[in-house]
Every structure is written in structure tokens, then in C-alpha cells.
Chain A
Amino acid sequence: MSLDDRMRRAAERVEGATMNMEVPENEVPRRARVRTITRASAGVVALVAITLLAVSTIGVTTHKHADVAKPGASAGGVGPFIVNQENPSDPHNADSHWHAALGVWNCGQWMGDIKPGTWKWPNHNAQTASPTLPDGSTYAGMHSHEDGIIHMEPAYPADAGKNATVGRYFDSGGWTVSTDGFFFLNTARHNGQPCNGEAGQISWWVNGQQMHGDPASYKLYDNDTVVIAYLPQSHADAYPGNPPSVVNLPSEAGALNHFNITADSGGALKFVPSSFNATTGIAEIDLTTGAAGHSFTFADPAIHFSAVNLSDSRTTTKAYLFFAKPGDYQFMCTIPGHAAAGETGVIHVTGSEQPLPHNLR
């Protein structure tokens, strides 16, 4: 038998097996983190990302990295990628905007020039206000927006892929970081300088895991949380905790505004609780159903939030929202009659107006 025949038989066997396979129900829209974003005229913004609590959470820990240079990181196929504008169908475009939360801890406090943990991007193009390198004109593919987040949106190879390092971010802001110390927001710290009454030293963590080697050469990944800390030597291994900026990270782990709402617990047409408080920024809501046949959306159509279908009983669906402005946000079930019967609620949002995360603009 010829190779072609054998190959065709092998192909047929796989085809036969898949033809008999049951196609699982299409859960994709429910799992999808659909970032639907709007800038309604009122400036009210809602970001939705919906995902089922999927088994993939395991992957969150397995793909994190223990080495300064992640093995294979230079082998291509590693984001963030420059948007391929010639070919909008390039699948790499899906990884053209990554985020990492950064915190720089200086002997007992988070550094920031806005408030602890957030800082202004020091360099901008005077005409466009676009973040730049210290030269004031070259677009900085790694930058922050007063949110303590390292935005990775490369337009040039220097900011893309394996070049998206902590060091590149510091360079882009006109700062430095190394195993010996850092210069950040007009503050310089060097190993051996006093820190809480003793000699201090640099330690650093990625996703809560203490790292060794040069922080500058750490290649960032989407949703990383990076802490650079100047600590007293006797406490050099004490993780200062997640930085304040994790709340600005558009990921499950990062959302500090976290709420549980149950629809139809015990057969009642209502949300429990039906009223809660949140602060501006990202909120994560776990929507749990008692019985099936509900939905969750906002009453004000100006908030372009696609309704979250809660069609299965006893399941939890995540929704992510971005509250740009304080205010009262009414939510409801869209199944006819349910809202009228009282399946509504309100989120009281307080806090200062927040800039829209860059990837949602």
C-alpha cells in the first residue's frame, strides 16, 4: 500500500472518530471574556468579560515562570505582539495588548506620585499626549496610565516579545532597576543604604514568588504581578503583598471589587444581595444561579453591557465591569416579567473617576 493510501486511511480513522463524537454544547459565548467597551456620551463605561469558572485556572499557575529568562521565551511565539495592521486576521493580534501589575516597595510603603502604588507616566508627546520614551517623541510600547499597570502595547520590536522586560519598562520611563537598586520616581535606592534602621537590599517577586537574578531582564507575561522591593536585610524575604495596582489588572485575580450575586436562590425572582457598594475601577462579580432561566444586565441602555445569560442552574458565571465614574448602577434580569417581579438591584459606586484601561479604549 502506498504512503498516500496509508495516510488517507489514517485520516479516515480520525475523521470517523470525530464524526461520531458528540459536539459539546456551545459554551463559548459564556466563557468568552468579551470585552465590550463603550464610551457612552455620559462617560459611563462598562466592561464586560464573562467567563465560566473553567478548569483552566490550573494553567494560571503552571505557565508562570521561575526563571528570569523563561526557557523558550526567545523562541518566537511569545507576546506581546505588534498589531499586524496589514492582516487584521493575524491571530497574534489577540495578544497585542498585555498588562502586568507593578508595585515598587520602598522600606514600608508603595511608591507613587499620585497616591501610593500609582504614578504618572513622566514622558508624553506634547501634541498627542501619547506616552513616549524619555526623548518625548518616540512612542513607548511599555508604559503606564496612572494605574500602576505596565501596559504592553508594542508598536516597535524593541517593546515586543522577549524585549518586553521589566528593564525595558524602567528604561522607557527614564528609570533604572537592577539587583543593586533602583531609580524610580525621583528616588534612588542602593543596596546597603539604611532602610528601617538597618542596611537595605533589593528583593523582587513575580506573582508572589520570590525571584533571583536581575529584575531588569525578567520578560513579562500577561497578567503578571511584579513587586520590586527595597527591604531591610533581615526581612529581605518578606513579600510586601500584592501591590495596589492589581485592582487595575483586567484579570480575575486582580479584581479587588469582588461580589457574589445569586439569582433565584430558593425560587424567588430576585437577586441576593440586591444592593451593594463598589468603588470605581474594575469589579468582578460571580453570578450564581439557584434555578435556571435568568440573566444579568444593567437597566440603563447607555451602559453597553451585553446581558449575561444565566441559563443553567447552579452554575457560577463571572462578569467583569469597569466603573469609570461613581454613581448608582441599576441592574436587572431581562427575562420578561422578572424585573417587574423584583429581580433588580443596584450597585452604589463611589470613588474618583478612573481612566479607562488602555486596552478598552
Chain B
Amino acid sequence: MHAMKMVQPVMTATTTAEFDAFYGEQYQPLMRLAWALAGSKAVAEDLVQETMLRVYRHWSKVAGYDRPGAWARRVLLNLATSRGRRLTVEARGLARLGKPRDTTPPPDDEDIWTLVRALPKREAQVVALFYLEDMTVDEIATLLESPAGTIKSLLHRARKSLAEQLGEVES
């Protein structure tokens, strides 16, 4: 017999309040990560809402973790990879239906985020976590469940291609 049942306990008023606090605290940080990686505010909002929804559904579990925010970031990155395209299509569809959708790209004088988004997915994620979230290589490694060496080389490659495109000497 497989022991695979996902138990989804009843939400109580307390957990809802805890989640509310998490939501208030994490909305903006998740939003900037999503916005930088998705390139559209509307898509980022959808991604963050979807992430929050998943966090909420698993709140009884997630709340017990040292860093529920890290779990949420992992969900967000996975969603951004798997659903980014679909959400973009949806956003366009909604735009056609005349629904006001804010497709503003993140503020960026130098189009750096455009370059970041053009990087291989994993590199883009590492760059965003490193610069936007101020995470260390070790923290990123834990979050992405990859060896630190892998993260280091992803970051190195990403910085190298960014530097080349920006005409910078990588420091």
C-alpha cells in the first residue's frame, strides 16, 4: 500500500491569522522577484497570488518550517518556469477582452532585467535571488536544492554573459 495521501487539515482562525501576517510580510518581496523574472507586473501578480494560494493550502506544514518564505520562493520559481508562458498568454487574452491588465515591465533604466530574463532559466533565478534577495550562494543552494558549486558556476556564467552584453569587465 502506498502511503501517499496528502492530508489537508482544517484551517482554523489562528492559522488564517498567521497566514495573513505571512502574506503581508512576503507579498512585496515575492512580487519583486516575480516581477523581475516574469517581466510583466500582471503576470507577476498572478504568480504571487498562485504562490500564496499554494502556501495557504499547505500552511499547516509550511508554517512549521524555519523559513516559510524560502518555501514560497521555491514555489514561485517553479511556477514562473512552468506557468510563465501560459500566464503571459492569458494576460494577452485578457487584454483582448478589454480587461485592464497592468503589463508594466519592472522599472529598469538599462534593461538589465530583460537581459536577465533572456538567460537560461536557472541562471536567471540565481541572479535574481543573489541581487534582489541578497541571498548568499549557500542560501541559494539550499533554496534550489542544488550543490553550492553548481550555484556558484551558474552565477559565474550568468555574470559573465551579463557583463559581456553590458560591455563591462566582470569584477
Residues of A near any B CB (own CB < 8 A): 1-4, 6-11, 13-19, 21, 23-24, 26, 28-29, 31-38, 55-56, 58-59, 62-63, 77-78, 82-83, 85, 87-89, 91-94, 96-97, 125, 128, 130, 139, 153, 155, 304, 306, 359, 361
Contacts and interface: CB of A to CB of B under 8 A. Distances in A.
B9 interface: yes
Given A3-B168, A18-B35, A94-B54, A89 B62 contact: yes
A28 B62 contact: no
Given A34-B56, A91-B75, A155-B2, 8 more contacts: A1-B168, A4-B171, A21-B28, A23-B27, A28-B56, A29-B16, A34-B11, A97-B6
A6 B54 contact: no
A251 to B, nearest CB: 15
B106 A130 contact: no
A28 B75 contact: no
A110 B36 CA distance: 50
Contacts of A16: 107
Interface in B86-134: 86-87, 89-90, 93-94, 97, 99, 106-110, 112-113, 127, 131-132
Task: From B8, B46, B78, B79, name the one whose CB has the most chain A CB atoms within 10 angstroms.
Answer: B8
A18 B71 contact: no
Nearest to A78: B82
B57 interface: yes
Given A32-B53, A58-B90, A89-B71, A6 B8 contact: no
A10 B113 contact: yes
B153 to A, nearest CB: 17
Nearest to A51: B53
Contacts of B138: none
A55 B62 contact: no
A55 B56 CA distance: 19
Contacts of B110: 6, 10
Contact of A139 (B2, B54, B81, B171): B2
B163 to A, nearest CB: 5
A79 B102 CA distance: 30
Contacts of A139: 1-2
B112 A6 contact: yes
21 contacts: A1-B168, A2-B168, A3-B163, A6-B168, A10-B112, A10-B113, A11-B131, A16-B107, A18-B31, A28-B56, A33-B57, A56-B90, A58-B94, A62-B90, A77-B78, A77-B81, A85-B3, A85-B4, A91-B74, A94-B57, A130-B1
Contact of B1 (A17, A18, A21, A128): A128
Contacts of B81: 77
B18 to A, nearest CB: 11
A17 B27 CA distance: 13
A32 B168 contact: no
Interface in B124-162: 127, 131-132, 145, 159, 162
A56 B78 CA distance: 18
Across chains A and B, which 10 residue pairs bring their CB atoms closest together, nearest first?
A10-B112, A18-B32, A2-B171, A91-B75, A128-B1, A77-B82, A36-B10, A155-B2, A11-B131, A26-B23
Nearest to A59: B90
Contacts of A6: 110, 112, 166, 168
Given A7-B127, A10-B112, A11-B132, A37 B89 contact: no
Nearest to A29: B16
Contacts of A21: 28, 31
B16 A7 contact: no
B132 A155 contact: no
A13 B110 CA distance: 11
Contacts of A35: 8, 57
Contacts of A4: 171
B40 interface: no
A23 B26 CA distance: 10
A14 B106 contact: yes
B170 A3 contact: yes
A23 B31 CA distance: 10
Contacts of B75: 91
Given A17-B107, A35-B8, A10 B131 contact: yes
Given A83-B4, A93-B6, A155-B4, A32 B162 contact: no
B28 A28 contact: no
B171 A89 contact: no
Nearest to B171: A2
A36 B15 CA distance: 14
Contacts of B61: 88-89
A97 B16 CA distance: 25
Nearest to A139: B2
A34 B16 CA distance: 12
Contacts of A14: 32, 35-36, 106-108, 113, 132
A175 B103 CA distance: 49
